[in-house]
Structure 1
Amino acid sequence: MASQVTAANSSDAGEISRDEIVRRLHDASLTIVDVLPQASYVEAHIPRAINLPLEQIPDHAREILPDLNADIAVYCGKFT
C-alpha cells in the first residue's frame, strides 16, 4: 500500500519568487519540484529540480522527495 501525502492548506503554503529561487539554487535546504510530465522536464527544467509529475504526487512523493519537512518549491512552467 502506497503512503499518502496530504497537500498543505493554501494558508499554510507560501509563495516563492523567481528571484528567491535563483538566489537559493545552490541552497541544499530548498527542494525544487517540477510537476510537469517527464517529457517537459527533459526539455527544460530548473537546475537541481526533481521531476515529480502532478498525478504521481500522492503515490510517489514520500519516496522521491528527500525531506518532506524541508522548504519545497513547486513549479509547473519553464524557468524564464
Structure 2
Amino acid sequence: MTATIDTLGSAFAELFSQAQEQGLVDRELDSRALAITLMGTLHGLVLHRSLDPDIDISACGDAMRAMYQGIFRTQSNAA
C-alpha cells in the first residue's frame, strides 16, 4: 500500500508542478506538500463517508473545489 501511496503522491506532485509552471498554482507552495494535503483531504473524506454513509459527497466535492481554488490559485487566476 505504501508504494501505491508514494506513486499517487508523486503523480499529484507532478500535476501540481505542471500547474505551477502554467501559472495556475502558486509557485511558492511546495508541490509535494500540496500533493500530501490533497491526499490527506481525500483520505479524510473517505473515512468520514465510511462512518456516515449519509454524507453528501457532491457537496463535499463543491467545498473542496472552492477551498483549493481559493487557497492554491495564484492571485492573477483567482478572479
Same fold by TM (over 0.5)?
Answer: no
Name the structure with the higher helix share: 2
Q: TM-score range by the shorter chain?
A: under 0.3
Comparing both chains, which one has the higher relative contact order based on Cα–Cα distances under 8 Å and sequence gaps of 6 or more? 1
TM-score, reference length from structure 2: 0.27
